């Protein structure tokens, strides 16, 4: 699938980059868009900002397309944590409420909820079973005071793909809200927030969306917008934000109300360029290619006797493959790979590879050969 898109990824000529679960390289079109926006600011000041704003609004619609929702349910955020914090601080919690989450979540999906202990809200942790999670264990952790379940769509350290549809159905049956940290999935696969009964979702753009750091998307289901009354709100969240003489306007009845102030337009046009590329290819094709590459990794790792922490089943993984070498310590192997210009990550005492659609099969084979 990389055929025809090599020029979008100059990094292909320099390293074998297998760390899209960390911070991704920018496609050429995203970098060009950001340079153009900066050039416009340098030479024309804000006079051409209108074009960047149009591009940002295109991105809002594109994000809605990727998530199978409406543009009015999309807000822009600085990062995943900001979106999750909108929920944590926005809901009207009562002492004795509880939240259920998974063990080994990335800290962005722990700290906002842990901080609610000051309001008497309990955070309950569901344990792994052989590096996987069972919906039945979430059900067992829930009770009549459970207000919210919050999970990552894909676990950052193991690559386990959470069964969001089944978890969403459980939440529907129990009358519980489902919140998703989607940063390890959005851009690598299509996500249907309606089918999965997701109330809230947040994802920064710098991983599988191939965008710059510092600009992401937040989804808030329409019927949940008024359920976040305690959020920080600002001048952009009203019907006529440019009417500076009227400060008594009501909040807009859409997710835009959570965009409290000025936007990072340079980041917006960069992410728009990357999302345009992904939609041009098609998210189903992107997902298929990523699964093919991770399958190739898993087969090669098994042949080498590596301990693998990622499910082999396509339905239970996406872009992350985590493993431990049978003879070489992970920290030593991580440094050795970097010396050979093979970029992965070192997490939980093991190595993590995370290829994207444009990686070549020859690169996967070269990375595997470097383990010998």
Domain spans of the chain?
6-18+283-369, 33-280
CATH architecture of residue range(s) 6-18+283-369: Alpha-Beta Complex (3.90)
pLDDT of residue 104: 97
Joined together, the tokens standing for residue 26 give: 């920018």
Bridge partner residues of 200 (DSSP): 179, 220
pLDDT averaged per 10 residues, the chain (length 372) = 76 95 97 95 85 95 98 98 97 97 97 97 97 98 98 98 98 98 97 98 98 98 94 90 91 94 95 97 97 98 98 97 97 97 96 97 97 96
The pTM score is 0.95
pLDDT score recorded for residue 31: 97
Between the CA of residue 266 and those of 40, 49, 81, 301, what are the distances in Å?
Answer: 10, 10, 20, 40
Query: Contact, 256 vs 231, CB < 8 A?
Result: no
At 49 the pLDDT is 86
pLDDT at 45: 85
Identify the architecture of domain 33-280 in CATH. 3-Layer(aba) Sandwich (3.40)
Both structure tokens of 365: 């084979």
Q: Which residue has the tokens 């046009």?
A: 269
Q: What angle do CA 224, 228, 234 make, to 5 degrees?
A: 120
Amino acid 1: pLDDT: 56
Burial class for 276, CB neighbours closer than 10 Å (0-12, 13-18, 19+): middle
Collapsing DSSP to helix, strand or coil, 71 comes out as helix
SS3 201: strand
pLDDT score at 229: 87
195 Cβ contact list (under 8 Å, min separation 6): 68, 165, 168
Other residues' Cβ atoms within 10 Å of the Cβ of residue 200: 27
User: How far, in Å, CA of 233 to CA of 178, rounded?
Assistant: 23
User: Which of 98, 101, 141, 103 shows the shortest CA–CA distance to 119?
Assistant: 98
**Rounded distance between C-alpha atoms, residue 60 and residue 314, angstroms:** 30
- Asked if 16 and 365 count as a contact pair (C-beta separation under 8 A), the reply is no
């Amino acid at each position: 699938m990389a055929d025809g898109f090599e020029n979008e990824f100059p990094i292909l000529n320099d390293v074998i980059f297998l760390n899209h679960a960390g911070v991704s390289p920018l496609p050429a079109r995203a970098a060009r868009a950001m340079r153009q926006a900066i050039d416009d600011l340098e030479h024309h000041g804000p006079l051409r900002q209108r074009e960047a704003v149009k591009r940002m609004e295109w991105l809002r619609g594109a994000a809605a397309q990727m998530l199978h929702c409406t543009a009015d349910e999309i807000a822009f955020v600085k990062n995943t944590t900001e979106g999750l914090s909108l929920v944590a601080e926005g809901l009207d919690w009562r002492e004795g409420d509880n939240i259920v989450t998974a063990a080994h979540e990335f800290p962005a999906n722990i700290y906002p909820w842990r901080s609610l202990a000051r309001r008497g809200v309990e955070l309950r942790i569901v344990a792994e079973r052989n590096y996987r999670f069972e919906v039945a264990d979430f059900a067992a952790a829930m009770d009549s005071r459970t207000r919210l379940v919050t999970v990552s769509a894909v676990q950052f350290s193991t690559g386990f793909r959470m069964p969001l549809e089944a978890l969403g159905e459980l939440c529907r049956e129990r009358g519980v809200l489902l919140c998703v940290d989607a940063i390890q999935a959005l851009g690598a696969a299509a996500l249907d927030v309606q089918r999965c009964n997701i109330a809230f979702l947040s994802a920064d753009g710098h991983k599988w969306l191939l965008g710059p750091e510092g600009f992401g998307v937040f989804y808030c289901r329409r019927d949940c917008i008024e359920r976040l009354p305690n959020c920080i709100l600002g001048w952009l969240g009203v019907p006529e934000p440019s009417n500076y003489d009227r400060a008594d306007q009501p909040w807009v009845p859409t997710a835009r109300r959570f965009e409290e102030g000025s936007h990072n337009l340079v980041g917006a046009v960069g992410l728009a360029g990357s999302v345009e590329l992904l939609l041009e290819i098609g998210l189903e094709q992107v997902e298929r290619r990523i699964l093919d590459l991770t399958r190739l990794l898993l087969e090669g790792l098994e042949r080498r006797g590596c301990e693998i922490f990622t499910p082999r089943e396509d339905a239970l993984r996406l872009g992350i493959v985590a493993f431990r070498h049978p003879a070489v310590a992970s920290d030593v192997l991580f440094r050795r790979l970097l010396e050979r210009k093979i970029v992965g990550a070192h997490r939980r005492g093991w190595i993590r590879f995370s290829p994207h659609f444009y990686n070549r099969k020859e690169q996967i084979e070269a990375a595997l050969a470097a383990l010998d």
